[in-house]
Amino acid sequence: MPAVALGQAGGADGCRHRISSVQLRSVSSVNTELREHVNRDDELPSARMTKFRTWDGLELNYRVWEGSGTPVILQHGVVADTNANWMSTGVVGALQAAGRTVVSLDARGHGRSDKPHDAASYSWAAMAKDVSALYDELGLDSVVQVGYSMGAIISLLVAAADERVTRLAIGGVGSGVIDCGGVDRRVIELTELHAAMRGEQAPDLAVMFRILADAVHADKVAIEAVATGLDDRPIRDLSEITVPTLVLAGDKDPFAAEPERLAAALPNAKLELVPGDHLLAVTAPAFSAALVNFVAA
């Protein structure tokens, strides 16, 4: 398969054109649904929660649910954390019910991990190195790497560089990985996300990220620094990611537009569509079911 280079499919300016046809539910309905999911108290087996010092001295928090098989490593999306992205959505519960060992990392700037307020502390390369450092910390030689949204881009970078990744599952991303070299910046602009985090007027999609930030008690100054630090194009070539890959996309997720293009660009990928938009697709039972089936294959 020929290499898919940055911007190749969309042309040199493929990421400059705003996606203007984003259909959103009301902010109030998203607010209600998000808070219901984030505050769910599903019974899960107790997790071992601890911190480790990563390669540049930051302390990162992770949780381990013991089971069997190749460990499944989870990396959440921007603003979210282990609870919001994986526990309250039913993903951890489904993987645990299938008997798997599950490990979830709170990315730098998120959850219970350290949250520097300077953008220089955040880059795609740094976050990918954090995941590999977690493998080292746990002495892992084989993993199934799973990421959503921001975590999907991180997971793609890890899979391209770390041979310990034997299977890869990514959600919440689509053709933006090809046209924009990462998260689809045609959907939301950096200035809009900054405005939302500061409580200023912003488009509804940006406001929904502020609602999520409020629900998970995120450090909004750190989130602004994260967004600034990650404002580049980390994905240069998808052809080197040859492990079996599952692309999970919500059918109403603007960040996962044209997911079939992303699946086609990855040498060994399959696509699974699930109901929902960017913030709620991961809560769909079909999301967890597809992930469990893929991990078990």
pLDDT at 5 over 70: no
Q: 260, 235 in Cβ contact below 8 A?
A: no
Residue-averaged pLDDT of the chain: 90
pLDDT tens for each residue of 270-293: 999 999 999 889 999 999 999 999
| CA-to-CA separations, 153 to 23, 53, 78, 145, 227, in angstroms, rounded | 24, 22, 11, 11, 13
The DSSP H or E segment spanning 153 is helix 150-161
pLDDT at 34 over 70: no
Give the distance, in angstroms, between the CA of residue 11 and the centroid of all CA atoms in the same chain: 25
Tell me, what's the pLDDT at 167?
Answer: 99
Q: 162, 140 in Cβ contact below 8 A?
A: no
pLDDT tens for each residue of 36-86: 666 555 557 678 999 999 999 999 999 999 999 999 999 999 999 999 999
82 is written with which tokens?
Answer: 């282990």
Q: CA torsion, points 166, 49, 147, 234, in degrees to nearest 10?
A: -90
pLDDT at 141 over 50: yes
In CATH, 43-183+222-296 is 3.40.50.2300: no
Residue 259 backbone dihedrals phi, psi, to 5 degrees: -65, -20
Q: 107, 157 in Cβ contact below 8 A?
A: no
**CA angle (97, 98, 104) in 5-degree steps:** 80
Tell me, what's the pLDDT at 163?
Answer: 98
Q: Whole-model pTM above 0.85? A: yes
28 is written with which tokens?
Answer: 């109030």
Tell me, what's the pLDDT at 297?
Answer: 87
- Domain parsing of the chain, residue ranges: 43-183+222-296
pLDDT tens for each residue of 184-235: 989 999 999 999 999 999 998 899 999 999 999 999 999 999 999 999 999 9
